[in-house]
Structure 1
Amino acid sequence: MIDAVASYAKEFPMAQEHFPRSPGRFASAAAPLGNTVEVFLPSEPKHVKTSRRVAASALERWGGVPARVADDAVLIVSELVTNTILHGGVDTHEAVGLRIEDTGNELLIEVTDGNSQPAQGKAVGGTDTVARGALLVTRLAREWGSCNENRTTWARLATHRQEQAC
């Protein structure tokens, strides 16, 4: 697989991977392993696909995250970025921030925009095909919420790593 972060970084120099976590960011319960990626995406629907590629590529490169958890993380990234672009009140001149951190015990996903209205779920009927993003995040994440005056929506997923046999 082509490394999506490197590919994205060529097109958008704002992409970066870094270690350790920047001070002042949303605090994680565990010390970071150094597996962190942060990108800023133009607020356009076509960049939801980019966010999924960046997430999948980083998780694959870092290794150790079970495939089911990685799939859930990519789906959560897609839902949070989509919600931000479609409902966040961000115009196409503003960037949407995506940050993913693997602490060893959990994945922390953060999506930031300029809107101070918190993400929230809506009641949906059994045949509705839209407005299911928050419901999916609620079902897949261990917990989720907002911080940074509601400008950042975050989700945590337990990685359930298994001990390696000697």
Structure 2
Amino acid sequence: MSELNISKNDISIAGEFYMAYILAKYGFKVSPTLGRTEVFDLFAQNPKGKNLTISVKTKYLSKSIEIPINKKAETRIDESLFYAFVRLNMPDGEPEFWIVPSRIVAKATIDSDKVWMDKPKRDGSKHKEVALRIFALGTHRLYPGDWEEQLEHFKSNIESLKDLK
């Protein structure tokens, strides 16, 4: 729960509808799946007729950097699958979003998980394999030093989806 007692489900829905609004604003045909699919949250068609699927991951607070993502993202690579990472920046800011191709998300989560698994716990033992990964929206200990710079390419990048054929 967040400071304003908003459920995780409501935060997720807010992110999905925010992205649907942004895409529609730029001429996309958009249909939210409303939880009826496991892999994606929005089905969209860009102005050139290219069909896209978008998995939306949302955080509420402005300082949120870590977005949990299932390890299945490591193998879900499709040229028409994208992840929209939304930070609502509540309570006072404007939302921000990053649209990242599934192949980039897969590589980032694989690489960051390897860093995590290779680093021993404080007591010297190994970390156990878990189904959750972290996608970082900024500088993070599991990501390369230039990650924030790399990520900037994907921030608010609706144009890259509009140009797909």
Normalized against structure 1, the TM-score is what? 0.33
Greater Cα radius of gyration, structure 1 or 2: 2
Report the TM-score, using the length of structure 2 for normalisation: 0.33
| Larger relative strand fraction | 2
